[in-house]
Amino acid sequence: MKRLTTHLILLLIWAVPTLASHSHVIETQAPQKPVESSPTVIFRQFIPSIAEQFIGMPVVLGGRPEKTGSTDNSWLFYSIYASAAAKAGLTYKTYMPMALLLGNTHSIKADDVNNGDLIALDNNLAAMVYQVDPSGRMHFIYASKKRGKVTTFNSENIVYHAYWMEHFKGFFRINEDLLMPARPK
């Protein structure tokens, strides 16, 4: 029994490092997907985590999140865009009231929707698509006057189908000239 235990220990001493070195080779040989890293792609990748910070914030007309701890839809979108742009090494042009912001967008197809795109209704109420799941489910954020706070919903929610799709104007993406390279410090 003592001899069997000794052989087992020796086998383990030899086998564990050998197997570990082989698993490293296998891991490093796995094909890697190229990482898209343009500033605009990085900007869009930051949208979900930034947007989620505003969920539940009180809605007040003219509210500025960084100054008043409250927001309206225009300031909500500006704050998300400006923060994501800064993290991506870009600057977002400026704050714009909703009508002006929507005037600085272009229409896109539902299949092309990405983080940061907007859904607008026929009355110019808008929500931001803050995340698109791999399944295609879209998550939206907006400052709801009715609920008095920043609210989210998704494209599988009854509200999306019963209200948003009923008054649907289109999906929109901000124009590229609203994002500029940040000036070096």
pLDDT of residue 74: 97
Kindly report the pTM of this predicted structure.
Answer: 0.79
Residue-level pLDDT, tens digit, the chain, 185 residues:
555 444 444 444 444 444 444 434 334 444 444 455 789 999 999 999 999 999 999 999 999 999 999 999 999 999 999 999 999 999 999 999 999 999 999 999 999 999 999 999 999 899 999 999 999 999 999 999 999 999 999 999 999 999 999 999 999 999 999 999 988 76
- Tell me how far the alpha carbon of residue 27 is from its chain's centroid: 29
pLDDT of residue 183: 82
- Burial per residue of 126-159, b for 16 or more beta-carbon CB atoms within 10 angstroms, e otherwise: bbbbbbbeeeeebbbbbbbeeeebbbbbebeeee
Distance CA 71, CA 64 (A): 5
pLDDT of residue 36: 58
Q: 42 vs 8, 48, 93, 104, 106, CA distance in Å?
A: 51, 12, 17, 21, 20
pLDDT of residue 9: 47
What is the set of domains in the chain, with CATH numbers? Answer: 39-180 (3.90.1720.10)
pLDDT of residue 14: 46
